[in-house]
Amino acid sequence: MWKLHTKCRACGSDKLNSVFSLGLQPLANAFAKPSELQSAFYPLEVLFCPLCTLGQLSCTVPPSTLYSNYPYVTSKSETMQAHFESLWKAIKSECEPESVCEIGSNDGDFLNFARANGAVAICGIDPAENLAEEADRKGIQTFRGVLDQDMAKTAFSAMPVIDLVVARHVFCHVDDWQEFVKSLEVLCNKNTLVVIEVPYVLDLLKNVEFDTIYHEHTSYLSIKAMQFLLEDSPFQMHKVIRFPIHGGAICIMLRHRKSGIDPHDSVSQMLHSEQITEDDWNEFGMSAHAKIDNLRELVLKLKADKKSIVGYGASAKATVWLNSLKLSRDQVAFVCDSTSQKQNRFVPGADIPIVDPGALTRELPDYAICWAWNFFREIQTKEVLFREKGGKWIVPVPELKIV
């Protein structure tokens, strides 16, 4: 079952205000086979904490429901590989990581990259059995489960000296922030570098990336909220770097307060410049609902003009869009996706089938809506024949455009 949140995950305040809601939504990654039951629907509502400026979900779905068999695989795209290079360069400017533990290690792709770039001891922590088996096949030890203090003790016993703890796009999934920090205390020594990468709330608000709001993402991180969380902890923010990946992400490096290493200027600069108000979220909500109305109007007009439309990228974002647009296979015939675990299944909450990317040039529809807009440049290059044959892309974020 799900639980209602009444206290801020970062600062504990009970003065939380509702700022955005998409009503009842299915789980964004619950891709079902035709014979399987579709996902249950849960409230999808964002609460804002005026004290620490954290945006966060009012409803928490248990990790066992979300991640026991998780179809999201770290992207194998050139875009993601280029991001790994940038992230690793930033890490190497801080330390020479020989032993690396990744929290939310997925199929081990980043750990594999770390091993190829000098790491000699690696291990991962992830609750998804299907993904951990993939990592096993790469020879990467993966502890099954979410990070808590018990799991941290298990990983620590296997790797007692950890140079680098990485948490890429997993801290935004964490519900109990205090437990997460206590678990870091178990894993880390005073010289360990902790690297937390999450989508950045300022990019979400600026580009109206409402489709990145779904039940897996329990929070929408601000630097101020992280500062509140760490106030009474043994850790402090050491450096903050912004990256373009996933529509705009922030990489927060933490150091132990006993490391003797002073924070980088980027921390004070970001803390000083970051201004997030409830009005920003309320404005975001109005813009998001306008985005949904505009795209729905465009799709219905194109269908009235007898145009054929498909989707490209069965991302979690696609699920949020298609359920918010209240569209069916009558309007969007199918969604192409390269992830084998998603093919021959349906978009959660909709009767829209997911097929292999080859369908785009086999069927040659008039329009393809790119639900993986964060990879659009690479997808456009990959699917050049679709465009040459007269097909047009609809890209919904950051601004609705037809190319």
Contact (CB, 8 A) for 317 and 371: yes
Name the residue nearer to ligand DWN (CB basis): 168 or 238.
Answer: 168
Contact characters 27-56, ligand DWN, x per CB under 6 A: ------------------------------
Q: How far is the CB of 53 from ligand DWN (least distance, A)?
A: 21
Q: How far is the CB of 338 from ligand DWN (least distance, A)?
A: 4
Q: Contact between 216 and ligand DWN (CB under 6 A)?
A: yes
State the Cα–Cα distance between residues 136 and 32, nearest whole angstrom.
25
Contact characters 379-398, ligand DWN, x per CB under 6 A: x--x----------------
CA 298 to chain CA centroid, Å, is 27
Judged by CB under 6 A, the stretch of 16-24, 147-155, 231-239, 371-379 that binds ligand DWN is 371-379
Q: How far is the CB of 357 from ligand DWN (least distance, A)?
A: 6
Q: If 0-12 CB within 10 Å is exposed, 13-18 middle and 19+ buried, where does residue 234 land?
A: middle
205 φ, ψ (degrees, to nearest 5): -70, -40
Angle between helix 223-230 and 265-273 (nearest 10)? 120
Q: Contact between 72 and ligand DWN (CB under 6 A)?
A: yes
Judged by CB under 6 A, the stretch of 131-139, 141-149, 367-375, 390-398 that binds ligand DWN is 367-375
Q: Of residues 26, 349, 353, 357, which one binds ligand DWN by CB under 6 A?
A: 357
Q: Contact between 246 and ligand DWN (CB under 6 A)?
A: yes
Query: Both tokens of residue 79?
Result: 């875009």
Q: How far is the CB of 111 from ligand DWN (least distance, A)?
A: 16
Nearest to 335 by CA among 349, 352, 316: 352
Nearest to 204 by CA among 99, 276, 265: 276
Q: Contact between 343 and ligand DWN (CB under 6 A)?
A: no
State the Cα–Cα distance between residues 210 and 207, nearest whole angstrom.
9
**90 backbone φψ class: left, alpha, beta (φ>0; ψ -120 to 50):** alpha
Q: If 0-12 CB within 10 Å is exposed, 13-18 middle and 19+ buried, where does residue 231 land?
A: exposed
Name the residue nearer to ligand DWN (CB basis): 99 or 315.
Answer: 315
Q: How far is the CB of 341 from ligand DWN (least distance, A)?
A: 9
Contact (CB, 8 A) for 40 and 83: no
Q: Contact between 75 and ligand DWN (CB under 6 A)?
A: yes
Name the residue nearer to ligand DWN (CB basis): 170 or 193.
Answer: 170
Q: What angle (nearest 5°) sits at the alpha carbon of residue 12, between those of residues 11 and 16?
A: 95
Q: How far is the CB of 319 from ligand DWN (least distance, A)?
A: 8
Judged by CB under 6 A, the stretch of 33-41, 49-57, 116-124, 373-381 that binds ligand DWN is 373-381
Q: Of residues 38, 58, 65, 77, which one binds ligand DWN by CB under 6 A?
A: 77
Those residues with Cβ within 8 angstroms of residue 196's Cβ, 6 or more apart along the chain or in another chain: 167, 171, 251, 252, 253, 254
Q: How far is the CB of 232 from ligand DWN (least distance, A)?
A: 28
Which DSSP category does 263 fall into? P
- Size of residue set near ligand DWN by CB under 6 A: 22
Name the residue nearer to ligand DWN (CB basis): 77 or 191.
Answer: 77
Q: How far is the CB of 376 from ligand DWN (least distance, A)?
A: 9
Neighbours of 96 (CB within 10 A): 10
Q: If 0-12 CB within 10 Å is exposed, 13-18 middle and 19+ buried, where does residue 149 land?
A: middle
Query: Both tokens of residue 143?
Result: 């502890």
Q: Contact between 248 and ligand DWN (CB under 6 A)?
A: no
Contact (CB, 8 A) for 140 and 126: no
Q: Of residues 48, 171, 375, 386, which one binds ligand DWN by CB under 6 A?
A: 375
Contact characters 287-326, ligand DWN, x per CB under 6 A: --------------------------xxxxx---------
Name the residue nearer to ligand DWN (CB basis): 19 or 372.
Answer: 372
Binding residues for ligand DWN, rule: CB under 6 A, are 72, 75, 77, 169, 216, 246, 313-317, 337-339, 342, 357, 372, 374-375, 378-379, 382
